[in-house]
Amino acid sequence: MRNKKLLVFRYIALSLITVLMVGPLVWMIATSLKEPTRIFTQFFPNPIRWENYTEVLGQMTFLKQYWNSIYIAVLVTIFVLLFSSMAGYAFARIKFPGRNVVFLLLLSVMMIPPEVTIIPLFLFMRDLGWVNTHIPLILLPIFGAPGAFGIFLMRQFFLAIPKELEEAAVVDGCSKFKIYWRIMLPLSVPALSTLTIFTFLTNWDEFLYPLIFINARELMTLPVGLSLFTDEAGTDWHHLMSATTLVTIPLLILFFFAQKKFIEGMTAGSIK
Amino acid sequence: MATSNSNLSTESKFLINKKKKPFSNKLSDSIAGWLFISPMFLGFSIFMFGPLVYAFFMSLHEWPLLGEQTFIGLENYQSLGQDGSFLNSLNVTILFSLGLVPLNIILAMFLAGLLKEKFIGVGFFRTAIFVPVVTSLIVWAIVWKNLLATELGFINQLLDLIGIQGPSWLLDQSTALPSVILVSVLKNVGLNMILFLTAMQQVPGELYEAAELDGASAFRRFRSVTLPLITPTIFLTMIITTIGAMKIFGQVYVMTRGGPVDSTKVLVYYIWETAFRHFDMGYASALAFVLFFILLAFTILSWVVRKRWVFHEE
């Protein structure tokens, strides 16, 4: 009896919270298909207006921003994977002077909030002529939280790999780089995929850097581009919601297919 | 003489070689090690550590974006105390954290408690609660901005149906900050829920069985068995969530722009405004350093907590 009550309570509570979590996204998708005049008068779109999507996808600016977001996030992720696995391997497997000090230094540098360094960085980038280019957007995040977290994660992973796997290669006289590239990296796919998800999602959501370094619309990334949308008088909500749907859905689909990895990637990053 | 010499020299060469082998290995290891870490090391030095030092240097100056910098020592820091906007932003940031952190932690724990055993639909609910985490923060904020719109917003239309006149959520001083807090909690509570779920699943099942045999109620079981065992996780997630709350910016930028009447103007927003709207780079750096020291204190606290308590970090 008591258990039954508990079960009913559990389902009611969880359903309520689910409505709060998923409801807004359902509403977003519904609104993205509405006629502009009916946005506020109906919940389910009737008639469905697919043109909202074709119109948004027909805007060069939106497509450009989408492309910017993707290619910057991909580049940052590749560099983070490469650099932090290299550093992680050195910290785990190579004895060199200053190893422990530098490791601690790198991890503590990770704690420096970008909000503090962005002011001088803006001046540097301005003097280099890199404001309003993608260079700072690609360069700076690599050495932020994802990079440092990556070093930590990869080092842990490499430490757990049994030494015997490398010994044969050492006897054969393989160079350190060859061992890292041929043996260690292929073994570390699980850790690399966790890091990929963490880095990609963090970068996909990056707001402060693009807001400060980019002024031209066609150079912006999606978060900043979309936030500008809402400032303009008489926001086209139906178009904005199609745009946000197009931004959200691909990641959600990936999430449904690789939930375990996603959850691992996101929570691992938050527990640094 | 000559032969013995040459003999010696070959022998000594041999010896030297033998000795040299490990030495050269050491040297090549050092070089290899530094080469491997050099991209990260250089990047951190140039793009993180350098700017940090430079930001402090800037904070000792009157530093307009264009024009002359003048050294003024600690004047920027001294004027913080008289700056009403700074005190307001500090106040808003603290209020935001005080609202967000307990709400987030309690909700995350409550949900983890409901979801820790297997039952029909458990996977569905876990996924649903994690969905906002995977959604872009800016998208989440834009959607909620519309839902919370005053007259035509979906939430107020719902309230209208049951005869309540909803407030102007984001345009009213008393409701704007709570609205932003709520939207932020919903966005990220899934992360902490997973952390609590992991912690709760590590509590040995026998303890619950024993408690049940002794006739402890569900609430009592939670208070006496679960709570003490997940305390380290609670502390750690509290600190991490607080650090995140202190740095909030994106959702404020999208939903309220710091308004109405500065009631949601958090510290990072004020720093951004000072640096990139009023171009007062020196003072903005001083403000940023205040944030830095607050975050540093919490970070050190988290290390202390971790060292003392955390036993499940591999």
SS3 of chain B:
CHHHHHHHHHHHHHHHHHHHHHHHHHHHHHHHHHHHHHHHHHHHHHHHHHHHHHHHHHHCEECECCCCCEECCCHHHHHHCCCHHHHHHHHHHHHHHHHHHHHHHHHHHHHHHHHCCCCCCHHHHHHHHHHHHHCCHHHHHHHHHHHCCCCCCHHHHHHHHCCCCCCCCCCCHHHHHHHHHHHHHHHHHHHHHHHHHHHHHCCCHHHHHHHHHCCCCHHHHHHHHHHHHHHHHHHHHHHHHHHHHHCCCHHHHHHCCCCCCCCCCCHHHHHHHHHHCCCEHHHHHHHHHHHHHHHHHHHHHHHHHHHHHCCCCC
Closest CA–CA distance from residue B73 to any residue of chain A (Å): 18
Q: How far apart are CA B42 and CA B49, in angstroms?
A: 10
Give residue for tokens 């400060």. Answer: A212
Residue B13: per-residue pLDDT: 46
Least reliable range by pLDDT among A218-222, B198-202, B217-221: B217-221
Residue B9: per-residue pLDDT: 47
CB contact under 8 A, B125 and A18: yes
pLDDT surpasses 80 at B19: no
A151 neighbourhood in chain B, CB within 8 Å: 40
Task: Give mean pLDDT, residues B50-59.
Answer: 95
| Contact criterion met (CB below 8 Å) for A6 and B219 | no
User: What is the pLDDT confidence band of residue A234, given thresholds at 50, 70 and 90?
Assistant: low
Task: Give mean pLDDT, residues B97-124.
Answer: 93
Q: Which residues sit opposite B62 in a β-bridge? A: B70
CB contact under 8 A, A116 and B58: no
Residue A167: per-residue pLDDT: 83
Task: Give mean pLDDT, residues A49-77.
Answer: 93
Find the farthest-apart pair of alpha carbons in chain B and give their distance in angstroms, rounded.
116
Give residue for tokens 């829920």. Answer: B193
User: What is the pLDDT confidence band of residue B10, given thresholds at 50, 70 and 90?
Assistant: very low
B26 neighbourhood in chain A, CB within 8 Å: 95
Residue A90: per-residue pLDDT: 95
Model confidence over A244-253: pLDDT tens digits? 999 999 999 9
From the list A83, A208, A241, the residue facing B40 with the nearest CB is A83
CB contact under 8 A, B47 and A11: no
Model confidence over A155-167: pLDDT tens digits? 999 999 988 888 8
Q: Which two tokens stand for residue B132?
A: 């906002």
Residue A231: per-residue pLDDT: 62
Backbone angles phi, psi at A205, to 5 degrees: -95, 0
Q: How far apart are CA A213 and CA B282, in angstroms?
A: 19
Residue A214: per-residue pLDDT: 96
A84 neighbourhood in chain B, CB within 8 Å: 40
B110 neighbourhood in chain A, CB within 8 Å: 13
CB pairs under 8 A between A and B: 246
What is the percent of chain A where pLDDT is above 90? 62
Residue B149: per-residue pLDDT: 85
Q: At what angle do helices A237-257 and A60-93 cross, to 10 degrees?
A: 30
CA angle B139, B141, B145 (to 5 degrees): 120
Q: For the beta carbon of residue B313, count every other beta carbon within 10 angstroms.
A: 9
Task: Give mean pLDDT, residues B4-23.
Answer: 46
Closest CA–CA distance from residue A12 to any residue of chain B (Å): 11
Closest CA–CA distance from residue B262 to any residue of chain A (Å): 18
Residue B90: per-residue pLDDT: 96
Chain A residue whose CA is closest to B113: A10
Comparison of pLDDT for A22 and B305, the residue scoring more? A22
CB contact under 8 A, A94 and B272: no
Average pLDDT, chain A: 89
CA atoms within 13 A on the CB side of B292: 23
Give residue for tokens 């709350």. Answer: B245
From the list A111, A143, A227, the residue facing B47 with the nearest CB is A143
CA atoms within 13 A on the CB side of B139: 27
CB contact under 8 A, A91 and B37: yes
Task: Give mean pLDDT, residues A180-209.
Answer: 93
pLDDT surpasses 80 at A212: yes
Judge whether A42 is closer than 8 Å to chain B, CB to CB.
no
Model confidence over B130-186: pLDDT tens digits? 999 999 999 999 999 989 987 778 888 888 888 888 888 999 999 999 999 999 999
| Contact criterion met (CB below 8 Å) for B74 and B214 | no
CB contact under 8 A, A116 and B147: no
CB contact under 8 A, A91 and B292: no
User: What is the pLDDT confidence band of residue A113, given thresholds at 50, 70 and 90?
Assistant: confident
SS3 A215: coil
Find the farthest-apart pair of alpha carbons in chain A and give their distance in angstroms, rounded.
75
Least reliable range by pLDDT among A50-59, A225-234, B3-12, B41-50: B3-12
A223 neighbourhood in chain B, CB within 8 Å: 136-139, 250
Backbone angles phi, psi at B162, to 5 degrees: -100, 20
User: What is the pLDDT confidence band of residue B1, given thresholds at 50, 70 and 90?
Assistant: very low
* Dihedral angle, C-alpha B299, B300, B301, B305, nearest 10 °: 100
Model confidence over B265-279: pLDDT tens digits? 999 999 999 999 999
What is the percent of chain B where pLDDT is above 70? 90
CB contact under 8 A, A112 and B129: no
Q: How far apart are CA A115 and CA B243, in angstroms?
A: 13
Closest CA–CA distance from residue A168 to any residue of chain B (Å): 17
Task: Give mean pLDDT, residues B229-250.
Answer: 91
Judge whether A10 is closer than 8 Å to chain B, CB to CB.
yes
Residue B180: per-residue pLDDT: 97
pLDDT surpasses 90 at B5: no
Least reliable range by pLDDT among B73-87, B198-212, B280-294: B198-212
Residue B15: per-residue pLDDT: 45
Residue A269: per-residue pLDDT: 62
A43 neighbourhood in chain B, CB within 8 Å: 154
From the list B44, B129, B272, the residue facing A143 with the nearest CB is B44
